[in-house]
């Protein structure tokens, strides 16, 4: 649904909660949860890899707080320097995380276009990708252990769109 028209925006802003879809249908969200809980239980070091923008920083903070305070996980937040590292994951950061003993990388607000990096570090790092940006033409990163994205092929949501399509 496009929100450019006033009536569509009003429907969105005054929507009844019964219209919300179950989060379990969002791509591989249950698989992602199982992988994260298994890593916490095993004592695996987890990195939450975010982005430097508002939603990336907020998502990193919220997930870090939950994993650390509520689940007692060994977890580190990672937000790249916007000037030196740019947007999203990069090989140097992933190498540093792998060298520091990280076993699981959970991306927030990035990673959907990083199949090359995910496959490069497969075997050293496991990846759970959570992102809302437009899928690349080749689709979700197949080397990731789990991908949570509104446009995931396994998402049954009607009109699933990403941030860039609104």
At 99-138, the pLDDT tens digits run: 999 999 999 999 999 999 999 999 999 999 999 998 999 9
Cβ pair 73, 45 in contact under 8 A: no
Angle at 56 between CA 55 and CA 62, to 5 degrees: 85
Pick the closest to residue 127 from 106, 142, 113, 109 (CA basis): 106
Pick the closest to residue 79 from 43, 102, 36, 110 (CA basis): 110
**Residue 13 clears pLDDT 70, i.e. is over it:** yes
Q: Is residue 61 part of a domain?
A: yes
Q: Is residue 18 part of a domain?
A: no
Q: Considering the entire predicted model, what is its pTM?
A: 0.87
Residue 122 DSSP one-character state:
B
Query: 27-61 pLDDT, tens per residue?
Result: 899 999 999 999 999 999 999 999 999 999 999 99
Backbone phi, then psi, for 13, in 5-degree steps? -70, -25
Q: Is residue 2 part of a domain?
A: no
Q: How many domains does the chain have?
A: 1
């Amino acid at each position: 649904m496009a929100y450019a028209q006033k009536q569509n925006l009003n429907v969105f802003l005054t929507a009844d909660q019964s219209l919300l879809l179950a989060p379990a249908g969002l791509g591989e969200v249950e698989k992602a949860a199982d992988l994260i809980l298994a890593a916490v239980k095993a004592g695996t070091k987890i990195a939450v890899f975010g982005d430097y923008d508002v939603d990336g920083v907020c998502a990193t903070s919220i997930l870090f707080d939950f994993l650390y305070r509520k689940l007692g996980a060994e977890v580190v937040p990672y937000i790249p320097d916007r000037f030196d590292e740019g947007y999203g994951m990069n090989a140097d950061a992933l190498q540093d995380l792998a060298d520091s003993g990280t076993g699981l990388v959970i991306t927030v607000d990035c990673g959907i276009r990083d199949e090359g990096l995910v496959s490069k570090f497969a075997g050293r790092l496991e990846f759970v990708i959570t992102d809302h940006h437009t899928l690349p033409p080749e689709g979700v990163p197949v080397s990731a252990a789990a991908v949570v994205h509104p446009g995931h092929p396994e998402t049954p949501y009607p009109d699933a769109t990403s941030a860039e399509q609104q």
